């Protein structure tokens, strides 16, 4: 029998007001000079200013140079800000992009070379050998679950290809998951990030890798999102729905240590070629890919339909997904979102090279990706 290792090491403080615990937590660690890593748009909103009022007694600096899909240069700029402040810890505050940058700023600040040299598939990948700055994370969206992940996805500056730094060393020492931080999200962002969370849970469950612990988490994460997403979109101030989506988001990211599938390979390609928001890209592809996957895992689709309250079994799961997308305002084919037929060859090339589809329940070739993109166009 194969010996399999399981690990769920992230400490999480979950609930309304959790952000108010950060200062005392850092002080207990003997830390005094945090660098907050966030994105440009968020830095201009009252939510960041309000959070800073809870950091009394700390000498706080802010790096707000994250925007769009995070890039390697943003990481290096963040590392320079860390050194300039003589910081002793990093506070990631934001959505998936800000948190992905925050997770690896400490590597760039304490190690030689460009952050790109630390991606897992670099031909001469550098090891993480020095102690990393203490890192805590506060998500302000409910989608990527990056706050509990052991990987950071950053894009190459020129090609926009997504690259992954993977190491348990970049896990947050503590996550402060405060759903009040998501109350200001507009409906379209809530919808796109929520579909990202749902996709993580669904693809993790469908992955053929052996991880019953993650299967249970992914199914429950799917159930929670299915019940809460529409309410979160339609009632932005509904704290229970916001809490449920934040929990589902974290559960999806915990579960996808079991790996993902072809939806994410397509989304990564759409992000690189067409600069689509990751959650939106997942939402635009999920029903097309799931319809194609159904024949490979009908029993699992039955389970997904059951936890989502879909009558009629697994064959009705994809129609339910399509209806949910429409109800949360995500409509139209890829072509309605700027994707053109001439993009398909490059999309296919990137998706085929992407690692995520290696754990898709149905093997996916370049020809399959071409057919999927054409069907979604």
DSSP string, 104-157: HHHHHHHSSS-GGGGSTT-TTPPP--SPPPEEEEEESSSSS-GGG-SEEEEE-T
* CATH number assigned to the domain covering 187-376: 1.20.1090.10
Whether the CB-CB separation of 280 and 266 falls below 8 Å is answered with no
pLDDT of residue 357: 97
pLDDT of residue 122: 84
| Alpha helices for 235-316 (secondary structure H) | 239-255, 262-274, 278-293, 298-307
pLDDT of residue 69: 80
Whether the CB-CB separation of 316 and 239 falls below 8 Å is answered with no
Q: Which fold has domain 12-182?
A: Rossmann fold (3.40.50)
In this prediction the pTM is: 0.93
Beta strand pairing status for 174-177 and 134-139? parallel
Whether the CB-CB separation of 329 and 347 falls below 8 Å is answered with no
pLDDT of residue 1: 61
The torsion angles phi and psi of 67, rounded to 5 degrees, stand at -155, 150
pLDDT of residue 160: 78
Whether the CB-CB separation of 247 and 224 falls below 8 Å is answered with yes
- Residue whose entry in the numeric block shows the structure tokens 């898709």: 360
Q: Where are the beta strands (DSSP E) in the chain?
A: 12-14, 34-39, 61-66, 89-94, 134-139, 151-155, 162-166, 174-177
pLDDT of residue 335: 96
CATH 3.40.50.1970 residue ranges for the chain: 12-182
Per-residue tens of pLDDT for the chain, all 377 residues? 677 777 778 899 999 999 999 999 999 999 999 999 999 999 999 999 999 999 999 999 999 999 988 899 999 999 999 999 999 999 999 999 999 999 999 999 999 999 999 988 888 889 999 999 999 999 999 999 999 999 998 888 887 778 889 999 999 999 999 999 999 899 999 999 999 999 999 999 999 999 999 999 999 999 999 999 999 999 999 999 999 999 999 999 999 888 999 999 999 999 989 989 999 999 999 999 999 999 999 999 999 999 999 999 999 999 999 999 999 999 999 999 999 999 999 999 999 999 999 999 999 999 999 999 999 99
CATH 1.20.1090.10 residue ranges for the chain: 187-376
DSSP state of 21: G
Interatomic CA distance for residues 207 and 211, integer angstroms: 9
Interatomic CA distance for residues 304 and 298, integer angstroms: 10
pLDDT of residue 20: 97
Beta strand pairing status for 61-66 and 134-139? unpaired
pLDDT of residue 161: 79
- Residue whose entry in the numeric block shows the structure tokens 């969206």: 141
Interatomic CA distance for residues 62 and 51, integer angstroms: 12
């Amino acid at each position: 029998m194969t010996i399999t290792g399981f690990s769920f090491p992230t400490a999480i403080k979950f609930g309304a007001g959790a952000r108010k615990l950060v200062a005392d937590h850092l002080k207990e660690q003997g830390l005094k000079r945090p660098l907050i890593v966030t994105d440009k748009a968020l830095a201009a909103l009252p939510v960041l200013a309000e959070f800073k009022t809870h950091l009394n007694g700390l000498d706080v600096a802010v790096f707000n140079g994250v925007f769009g899909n995070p890039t390697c240069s943003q990481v290096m700029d963040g590392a320079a800000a860390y050194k300039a402040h003589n910081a002793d810890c990093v506070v990631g505050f934001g959505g998936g992009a800000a948190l992905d940058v925050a997770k690896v700023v400490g590597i760039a600040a304490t190690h030689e070379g460009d952050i790109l040299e630390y991606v897992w598939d670099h031909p001469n990948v550098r090891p993480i050998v020095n102690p990393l700055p203490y890192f805590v994370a506060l998500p302000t969206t409910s989608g990527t679950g990056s706050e509990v992940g052991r990987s950071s996805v950053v894009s190459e500056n020129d090609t926009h290809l997504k690259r992954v730094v993977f190491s348990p060393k970049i896990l947050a020492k503590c996550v402060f998951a405060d759903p009040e931080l998501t109350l200001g999200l507009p409906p379209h962002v809530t919808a796109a990030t929520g579909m990202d969370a749902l996709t993580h849970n669904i693809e993790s469950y469908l992955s053929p890798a052996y991880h019953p612990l993650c299967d249970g988490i992914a199914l429950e994460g799917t159930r929670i999102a299915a019940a809460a997403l529409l309410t979160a979109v339609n009632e932005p101030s509904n704290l229970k729905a916001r809490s449920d989506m934040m929990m589902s988001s974290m559960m999806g990211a915990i579960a996808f240590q079991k790996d993902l599938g072809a939806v994410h390979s397509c989304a990564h390609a759409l992000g690189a070629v067409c600069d689509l928001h990751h959650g939106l890209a997942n939402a635009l592809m999920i029903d097309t890919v799931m319809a194609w996957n159904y024949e490979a895992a009908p029993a699992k689709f039955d389970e997904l339909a059951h936890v989502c309250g879909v009558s009629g079994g697994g064959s009705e799961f994809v129609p339910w997904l399509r209806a949910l997308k429409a109800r949360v305002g995500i409509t139209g084919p890829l072509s309605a979102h700027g994707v053109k037929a001439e993009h398909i060859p490059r999309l296919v090339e990137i998706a085929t090279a992407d690692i995520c589809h290696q754990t898709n329940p149905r093997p996916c070739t370049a020809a399959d990706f071409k057919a999927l993109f054409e069907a979604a166009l």
